[in-house]
Amino acid sequence: MSLRDHLIARIDADGPMSVADYMNECLLNPKYGYYTTRDPLGAAGDFITAPEISQMFGELLGLSLAQSWLDQGSPAPFTLAELGPGRGTLMADLLRATKSVPGFHAAAQIVLVEASPTLQAAQQQALAGYTVQWEDTVSSLADTPLWLVANEFFDALPIRQFLRDGDGWREKRVGLQQGQLAFGLGPSTPQPALDHRQHDTQDGDLVEICEAAAPILATVAQRISTHGGAALIVDYGDWRALGDTLQALRSHKSTDTLDDPGQADLTAHVDFEALAQVAQTAGCAYSRVTPQGVFLERLGITTRAQTLAKQLNGPALDNLIAAHQRLTHPEEMGNLFKVLGLYPDQTTPPPGLNA
């Protein structure tokens, strides 16, 4: 049996499923799920994240967090955590860049929130020499000051999609058409969670909500608000979601979201406004949402690239130049990806961000 067969049988038995349920099955099904059965990263995988492009990305995020830790009085011990840490590349770069920050490594308790056994094994290899703890969920993090990074984590959380229909909303669902997976619409119903979108949408507009993000972000924000710390959330998206952003990526190419379920990465753009509102409710301050390119330039990525370039020539130098452009150029990752910082009220945001 394939995941497609499993989904068809489930829909036959229970009726159409939400887009969120479909994403959950495709990504996390214990037997067939995309993340539970493979390493999706790198040139041999289906996508490449910023840490895989260049060491400069993780280094600069690390220095921003370390300076924030110094600005808050260097509390010890503290939790240094990453959500969805991939192969461990970002954390390895972060730790290398911060090793000369007095007391930072000695006080840090490194925690990776990762559910995939395949990726846990890769992380263990990348972070050999460090004492690392793995947790399945954010709620398992200790009640201590928390400095956290989440790069391309929230985009992989399941979303529900709703089409505006008068004063109500019709949920987009995955059902069957002539025995094959197909999108359809549920009946028009009120959606109190979307009441605030009545004034900026019209009939036929599609809005996405990510219910899974709120409890995760609330836990992080509550830790930071209560004990101190900061979080850097890097992802593609914008301040307010509008339109269908669900996409499937396989072998670095876009593919149909219903083709070969479990064989492609499914993601959607992050609604940073929704994250900021959750943080605020938990008593945490948040920064302005800042384009990744602007954030990295403020932290000195060009100076860092020039330093690295002095040691390189030929293809290695060409790769460095290309990596700098890919991370910062407005037409590549520079504008598409945004950074949101969380920090305690009455303190300053992590370097690279403005209140």
What's the confidence (pLDDT) of residue 43?
Answer: 45
What does the DSSP assignment read for 315-349? HHHHHHHHHHHHHH-IIIIIHHEEEEEEEETTSPP
**Mean pLDDT of all residues in 289-300:** 97
Longest Cα separation, the chain:
65
What's the confidence (pLDDT) of residue 39?
Answer: 65
Quick check: 324 and 60 in contact, CB under 8 A? no
Across 114-123, 138-147, 163-172, 266-275, least confident range: 114-123
Quick check: 232 and 65 in contact, CB under 8 A? yes
pLDDT in tens, 124-143: 999 999 999 999 999 999 99
| Dist CA 104 CA 94 (whole Å) | 11
What does the DSSP assignment read for 122-187? HHHHHTTTS-EEEESSGGGS-SS-EEEEEES-GGGS--EEEEEETTEEEEEEEEEETTEEEEEEEE
Quick check: 79 and 144 in contact, CB under 8 A? yes
Q: Residues for the chain: how many in total?
A: 355
- Could you tell me the pTM of the whole model? 0.93
pLDDT in tens, 17-70: 999 999 999 998 989 998 877 665 554 455 577 878 889 999 999 999 999 999
| Dist CA 331 CA 335 (whole Å) | 7
Nearest to 7 by CA among 261, 317, 305, 280: 261
pLDDT in tens, 150-179: 999 999 999 999 999 999 999 999 999 999
Q: How confident is the model at residue 278 (pLDDT cuts 50, 70, 90)?
A: very high
